[in-house]
């Protein structure tokens, strides 16, 4: 419990340091422009959605929310969305408000799975903070969200096609590689595939869930084989999140 409280304090302090470095901001706006996305408009939309629907602040907040908000203003149709990694349901809730006419499928491990209990300190959250009830509440408020309790490896059997896919499951091998390959198969032509938590610096002690170079290695191999192209957006633009290369994370937009 002490470790959990220290981690919460750590993320609270980090999330409230607002010293944006111009270099990081310029890089991010360049990536948005390259992908025909309006970052300023995306920020406006997300702020309004957050205010209107009282979406709480979280250590999970990042530029992915702005990316989704920017995409929601494009004229192209987003009819079906797949989210790999439901976690607390807040992102599925956001997607449901940004894309109210879309059919959204979000998947996560069954609650009885030991990995579900052990990762992200969910064991303690299930015991002491009604984690599952709160997650289900967000999903229940979203009439266009279908929640499935499956391991993402089972997407190999999925036949539906999607216009937008958000990859935010386990970051190690084989899960991240499987999620990326399945997403390439399941995404409509000219659809959006977005992958969270890309580490470009080499990780000395990789693990199955959090810290791994599996995603960037998979993207590089696919790119070298001329199967995809991709752009890396900063996950967060504050200097404190980017100063140390080992802590810097990216979000990839992948194009077939």
Query: For the segment 91-108, what is each residue's pLDDT rounded down to a tens digit?
Result: 999 999 999 999 999 999
CA 168 to chain centre: 5
The Cα-based distances of 52 to 110, 113, 126 in angstroms read: 31, 35, 28
Which structure tokens are listed for 55? 């979406």
Owner of token pair 């869930």 = 209
- Which run of H or of E encompasses 190? strand 187-198
The string over 81-94, giving b where at least 16 C-beta atoms fall within 10 Å of a residue's C-beta and e elsewhere, is: bbbbbbbbbbbbbb
Does pTM top 0.85 for this prediction?
yes
**Cβ–Cβ < 8 Å for 173, 128:** no
Percent of the chain whose pLDDT exceeds 70: 87
pLDDT at 232: 98
Find all residues with CB under 8 Å of 169, minimum gap 6, and list them.
84, 85, 152, 175, 176, 179
Q: Residues 148, 156, 67, 170: is their CA dihedral positive or negative? A: positive
**Cβ–Cβ < 8 Å for 198, 115:** no
Q: Which domains does the chain have, with CATH numbers?
A: 77-255 (3.40.50.150)
9 has a pLDDT exceeding 70: no
Give 60-95 pLDDT, tens digit per residue.
Answer: 899 999 999 999 999 889 999 999 999 999 999 999
Rounded to whole angstroms, the Cα distance separating 46 from 98 reads 9
Q: What is the CA radius of gyration of the chain?
A: 17
Rounded to whole angstroms, the Cα distance separating 77 from 75 reads 6
Q: Quick one: pLDDT band at residue 34, thresholds 50, 70, 90? A: very high
């Amino acid at each position: 419990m002490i470790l959990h409280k220290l981690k919460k304090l750590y993320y609270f302090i980090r999330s409230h340091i607002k010293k944006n470095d111009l270099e990081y901001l310029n890089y991010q706006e360049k990536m948005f422009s390259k992908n025909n996305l309006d970052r300023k408009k995306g920020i406006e939309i997300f702020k309004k959605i957050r205010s209107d629907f009282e979406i709480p602040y979280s250590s999970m907040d990042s530029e992915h929310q702005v990316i989704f908000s920017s995409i929601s203003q494009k004229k192209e149709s987003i009819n079906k969305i797949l989210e790999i990694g439901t976690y607390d349901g807040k992102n599925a809730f956001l997607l449901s408000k940004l894309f109210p006419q879309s059919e959204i499928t979000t998947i996560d491990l069954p609650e009885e799975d030991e990995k579900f209990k052990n990762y992200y300190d969910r064991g303690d959250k299930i015991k002491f903070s009604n984690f599952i009830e709160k997650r289900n509440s967000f999903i229940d408020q979203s009439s266009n969200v279908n929640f499935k309790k499956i391991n993402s490896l089972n997407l190999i059997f999925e036949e539906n096609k999607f216009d937008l896919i958000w990859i935010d499951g386990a970051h190690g091998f084989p899960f991240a590689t499987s999620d990326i390959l399945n997403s390439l198969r399941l995404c409509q032509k000219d659809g959006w595939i977005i992958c969270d938590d890309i580490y470009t610096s080499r990780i000395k002690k990789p693990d199955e869930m959090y810290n791994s170079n599996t995603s960037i290695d998979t993207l590089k191999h696919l790119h070298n084989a001329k199967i995809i192209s991709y752009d890396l957006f900063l996950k967060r633009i504050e200097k404190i999140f980017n100063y140390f290369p080992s802590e810097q994370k990216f979000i990839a937009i992948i194009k077939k």
